[in-house]
Structure 1
Amino acid sequence: MSGNQSDVDSVQSRRVTWEGCSVLLDINDGDRLVFSRLTENSSLKIGKKNYPLRPLIGCPFGSLFQVEYGAEGSKLSRLLQSAEVCNIQENGDYQPVEEHRDNRELVDNNKAQSLSGENIEELRRQGATGDEIIEALIANSATFEKKTAFSQAKYRLKKQKKYAPRVLLRRPVARSICETYFTKYPARIGFMRVDTLSLLLSMANVAANSDILVVDMVGGLLTGAVAERMGGSGYVCNMYLESSPYPMDIVRMFNFSDEICKRIVRISLSDLCSVQSDPSEEMGHDVSVTANSSNEQMCSHDTDTEPAGMEEIAPSSENVVSKCKVPKAGDKASQENIDLWKANGFSSS
C-alpha cells in the first residue's frame, strides 16, 4: 500500500500532467483563462465547439496546443518547439524595417477577401490545417500586401485566434491562481494582489518545518500558498472563528499530494482556546496569518456560495468537467497536535 502511494506521489511531483490533475488553460494568450481537471471525459469549449482534453494528459506544463482540422474533425494538437520556430521563420520575424507603405488608401468595405465561408469549410473538410487556412486567406486578400508590416502581423494574429486558436497548458501555483482570480473574480479572494500574498508569506516567516496558524477567508488561496511554500513539512492549521469552517475549495487546484493534504488541518477557535490556564501566555506564542486585513467586510465566507475550485474563469460556464476523486485537505486536527500547539504554540513570524 505504501509503495503504491509513493508511486502516486512520484507521478504527481513530475512536471508533466496526469489524469485527475488540475490545470490552468490560457486560451489565445490571455483572452480566456480556464481552470479545469484533466480526465478522460473533460472537454473545453472554444467558440462553438467542445474539444476533448485527453491529448493534454501526459504533456509537460508549459506545452502549447493548437486546434487542428482533419478527416476525423477538429482536435487539440500539441505544437512542438521546432514547429513553432519554423512557423515564425516562415511567417517572418517582423523586424522593423524602413518602408514607405501606409494604410491611408485602404477602404474597409468587406470586399477585399475573395475567399468565402463555404470555401473555408471546404478546406476544413479536405483536412487543411489552421495555418494553411490562414495562408489561403492571406493569398486571397486584395489589401494584405498593401498593409504595413505591423498591420500584417495584426491581421495574422486575428485570423490565428479565429481559425487556429491556441491553448497554453499552465501549472496552477499560488501566483497564477492569485493573478487569475484577481483579474476575473477579485471579490472571491478579497481583492488580494499577488504582491500582497507574497508579503503575507514573507512577513509571517512561512518556511519548512513550521506550524502555521492561518485564518483564511479568501476561499483557501492563503492556505494553499502557505502549504506550497512549506513543501510538505510542518502543519498548516486553518482556524475558523464561527461554528462552521470557512470554504477552502481553491486548495484543490494546487495538485497537492496526499501527504501534503494530511498536513492541512482545521480547528475551531473554541477547541484551540479550551482548557487554558493563562490565555495571555498562549496568545503570546501563537501566530495568526490573517488574509483579510483590510477587506474583511468584502470577503466574508458567505460571499461565495458555490464551489470556486474547478470552474471556468469566464463570464459563462462553458467548460465540461467530469468528477474525479482528489486528495482531501482540511480534516480536523488530531487531539495530539492540539495539545502540542497549546503547550508550545505555533511558529513565530
Structure 2
Amino acid sequence: MPSDPLSLSLSPRPDTAEPQEKAFPFRAPDPQNFLPTAQEHVRKPVPRRLGPEPQGHLGRVQRLAGHQRRRPPGLLPAHRELVRGFGNLTALFVFSIPMRMPGVGSVVNRRLVVVFGVLGLCRTLKIGKKNYSLRPLIGCPFGSLFQVEYGAEGSKLSRLLESAEVSNIQENGDYQLVEEHRDNRELVDNNKAQSLSGEDIEELRRQGATGDKIIEALIANSATFEKKTAFSQEKYRLKKQKKYAPRVLLRRPVARSICETYFTKYPARIGFMRVDTLSLLLSMANVAANSDILVVDMVGGLLTGAVAERMGGSGYVCNMYLESSPYPMDIVRMFNFSDEICKRIVRTSLSDLCSVQNDPSEQMGHDVSVTANASDEQMCSHETLTEPAVMEEIAPPSQNEISKCKIPKAGDKASQETIDLWKANGFSSLIVAAPELDTWNTVKDLMPHLSHSAPFAIYHQYVQPLATCMHNLQIEKMAVGLQISEPWLREYQVLPSRTHPCMQMSAFGGYILSGVKICNPEST
C-alpha cells in the first residue's frame, strides 16, 4: 500500500451554472439529474466552499445539504489542463472505478484505492502486484479513465473513451429499477458455483483476452449468477472487475480531496482536521484575494496550501514558526502550484518579526551598513572599469551555476521589504493550527502583529485549550465576537431506494475559536 493515499473528490458538472439551492435536510434526488460517476452519489453538508475553482477543478464543496449533480469521468470536457510529460506534477490515481450497469442504477464502490503519484515519462505506478508505466497518461486531461489491458506485449494502461452505453445513459438519464422478485435465500457459498479454473483464466490472458471478456466468461460460467438479485449481480461484477480489469482515474489534487484522504488514512498528520473544519477556518478568517494571511501551520502544510489555493496567487501567505526551525510543509507540493503562487508562500520566524518591529535602531544600522557596502562595491566596480578590457572566451555555464538558477519554491524566507510592510500595516488575518503548542501563549504573541479589526481563527482538536484562550482574551480585552464552534458533518449515500447516512463516519472534527481583534488603549 502506498504511503500517501489520496481521497476521491466529487465531480460536479463543470459546463453548467446552477443556482444555489436552499438548504433543507432531506430531498429526494431527481433520477434524471444523475449520471454515472466514479463514486456513489453523496450529499455532504459543508459550511463554506474551500476557494475559487481553477479551470478543470473536479471537486466542489457546496453549502449545507445541496446535493451535487455530476457526470462520468469519461464525459468531462477536454478543455481542462493537460498532463505534461516533464516536471514533478503530482496527480491522483483512483483504482478500480466501475461504470453503471443497465437496469441496476448507480454503483456502490466502497473501497477505492487512491494514491499520490508523480507523473513522468519514466514513472511507474503499482496496481496490485505489477508496475505499469505512466507514459500513456502524458497529454491526457485530468478526469481521464484508464483500464489495464492485456496483450501480446504484456499488460499496460489504456485510456477508455466514451462508449455507446455511456452516451445512452447521458441522453436518456438514469435507468429505472426493475421490479425485483428474486432473493439470495437459496444460494449457498460453497466455492463450487464457478466452473472456470485458474488455469483457464490464465489461458484466456495468454490468448490476449481483455479484462471485460474475462469477466463475461466468469459470469457465463457461474451457476448462481442468474439467481442473484440485481444488486448482488452488480457487486459480483465489481468484485471481478477489481481483480481482472482494474481501472485508474486521473484526478487533480485539491485542498478538499487531500484533506479528506489524510483524515481517513492518517488523521494524526493533519491534527484530525476534517474537510468541513478546514473550510470553516478559511471562512472565519476571511481568506480572500489581496490579503496578507499569517498562518501557524503544524498540520503538514495542509492549511498553508488551502489558503494559497483560495487566494489564487495574490497577496501573501506567511507561514510563521515560533521555534528555531520551520515546520514541515510537505503537503504543499501536492497542490501543483504555479511559480507565481509559490512566490506568495513565504516563511519567517517570530523572533525575526519581533526584532524588526521592536528594535528599529538595529534595522537602521543594518540599512547603513548595507549602503556602505554598496558604495564600496560601486567604487571597486568604477576602478575595474578604468582598466583596459581584455577579450576572453566565454565558457559555457557549469552545472553548479545552472543549479543556482532554481525555480521558486514554496516556503522561501520572506524578504526584508515584505517584513517591513507587515510591520507597518500588520496582517489582515490569523489562522492557527498548532495542536502541539500552548494556544494562549501562541495567540498572545501573534495578536500584536495583526491589524485592527482583523479576524482570526484558531483550530484545536480539544476544547479546553480554546476555552482557556477565550477566557484570557476576554480578560485582556484583546478581541470581540469570540465564539467556539464545533463543526458537524453527515455524509449521505443517495441511490434509488437506498438513500441513507453512510455507515462509517467520524463524529468529531475538532473545535474552532474565532473572533476579531480590537485596539485596547489600556494595554498600551
TM-score, with length taken from structure 2: 0.53
State the Cα distance separating 1:86 from its structure 2 match: 6.8
Q: Is residue 17–residue 57 contact of structure 1 (8 Å, CA) maintained in 2?
A: yes
**How far is 1:115 from its partner?**
1.0
1:16 alignment counterpart: 82
Q: d(CA) in 1 for partners of 2:211 and 2:195?
A: 18
Stretches of 4+ aligned residues off by more than 6 angstroms: 86-89
Shift of 1:99: 3.7
Q: Distance in 2 between matches of 1:78 and 1:220?
A: 33
Question: 1:203-229 deviations in whole A, cap 9, x for unaligned?
Answer: 111111111111110110010111100
Determine whether 1:113 maps to 2:194: yes
Larger Rg: 2
Q: 1:257 to 1:14 in 2, by over 3 A?
A: farther
Aligned partners of 1:61 and 1:156: how far apart in 2? 26
From 22, 26, 29, the equivalent of 2:94 is 26
Maintained 8 Å contact 1:138/1:144: yes
Answer yes or no: is 1:159 the counterpart of 2:225: no
- Who is 1:68 aligned against? 149
Which residue identity is paired with 1:338? I
Q: C-alpha displacement at 1:87, in angstroms?
A: 10
Hey, what does 2:256 align to over in structure 1? 175
Corresponding residue for 2:50? none
CA contact (8 A) 2:289 2:312 kept: yes
1:192 maps to: 273
Contact 1:112 1:142 (C-alpha < 8 Å) held by counterparts: yes
SS at match of 1:17: coil
- How far apart are the structure 2 equivalents of 1:201 and 1:158? 40
- Gaps of at least 5 residues in structure 1 are 1-9, 280-324
| Amino acid paired to 2:418 | N
1:102 Cα deviation after fit: 2.4
The amino acid of 1:269's aligned partner reads L
- Could you tell me how far 1:188 is from its partner in structure 2? 0.3
Letter in 1 for 2:81: R
DSSP-derived class of the 1:214 partner: strand
1:273-324 CA-partner distances (Å, limit 9, x unpaired)? 1143599xxxxxxxxxxxxxxxxxxxxxxxxxxxxxxxxxxxxxxxxxxxxx
Aligned residues of 1:64 and 1:166 also touching (Cα < 8 A): yes
After TM superposition, list the pairs within 5 Å mapping 1:25-174 onto structure 2: 25-29=93-97, 30-82=111-163, 85=166, 95-174=176-255
Q: Pick one of 341, 345, 349 that aligns with 2:426.
A: 345
Map Cα deviations across residues 108-142 of structure 1 (whole Å, 9 max, x no partner). 22111111111111111111111110001111111
C-alpha contact (below 8 Å) 1:208/1:234 kept by paired residues: yes
**Structure 1 residue 98: Cα displacement:** 2.6
User: Hey, what's the Cα distance between the residues in 2 that align with 1:139 and 1:176?
Assistant: 39
Distance 2:420 2:407 in 1: 30
> 1:230, CA displacement in angstroms?
0.6
Q: Distance in 2 between matches of 1:151 and 1:340?
A: 64
Q: Distance in 2 between matches of 1:119 and 1:342?
A: 74
What code does the residue aligned with 2:187 have?
L
What's the RMSD between the two structures over aligned residues? 2.6
* Alpha-carbon contact 1:94-1:149 (below 8 Å) kept: no
Distance 1:224 1:42, change over 3 A: same
CA distance in 2, matches of 1:57, 1:192: 34
Whether contact under 8 Å (1:252, 1:326) holds in the other structure is: no
Q: Is the 8 A contact 2:356 2:420 kept in 1?
A: no
Q: Distance in 1 between matches of 2:238 and 2:324?
A: 53
Q: How many residues align?
A: 292
Equivalences for residues 195-274 of structure 1 within 5 A: 195-274=276-355
SS in 1 for 2:158: strand
Evaluate the alpha carbon distance shift between residue 235 and residue 275 of structure 1 in structure 2; reply closer, same or farther with a 3 A threshold: closer
Asked whether the 8 Å contact 2:80–2:142 carries over to 1, the reply is: no
Call closer, same or farther: CA 1:278–1:195 in 2, change over 3 Å: farther
Relative to structure 1, the CA distance from residue 103 to residue 276 in structure 2 (aligned partners, 3 Å threshold; closer, same or farther) is closer
Distance 1:110 1:326, change over 3 A: farther
Q: Is residue 269–residue 300 contact of structure 2 (8 Å, CA) maintained in 1?
A: yes
Separation in structure 2 between the aligned mates of residue 244 and residue 191 of structure 1, nearest angstrom = 23
After superposition, residues 263-342 of structure 1 pair within 5 angstroms as 263-277=344-358, 328-342=409-423
Over 3 Å counting, the alpha-carbon distance change for 1:102 and 1:277 in structure 2 is: closer
Gap change, CA 1:277 and 1:156, over 3 Å in 2: closer
Deviation (angstroms), 1:14: 5.0
Partner of 1:108, secondary structure, is coil
Aligned residue number for residue 3 of structure 1: none
- Structure 1 window deviating more from structure 2 (56-65 vs 250-259): it is 56-65
How far apart in 2 are the matches of 1:135 and 1:80?
20
Higher relative contact order (CA 8 A, sep 6+): 1
CA distance in 2: counterparts of 1:268 and 1:116, whole angstroms: 65
Change (3 A) 1:204 1:57: same
Question: Alpha-carbon deviation of 1:96?
Answer: 2.7
Kept after mapping to 1: 8 A contact 2:124/2:132: yes
Instruction: Quote how far apart the aligned CAs of 1:94 are.
Output: 7.2
Gaps of 5+ in 2: 1-54, 56-78, 98-110, 361-405, 429-453, 456-524
Letter aligned with residue 92 of structure 2: L
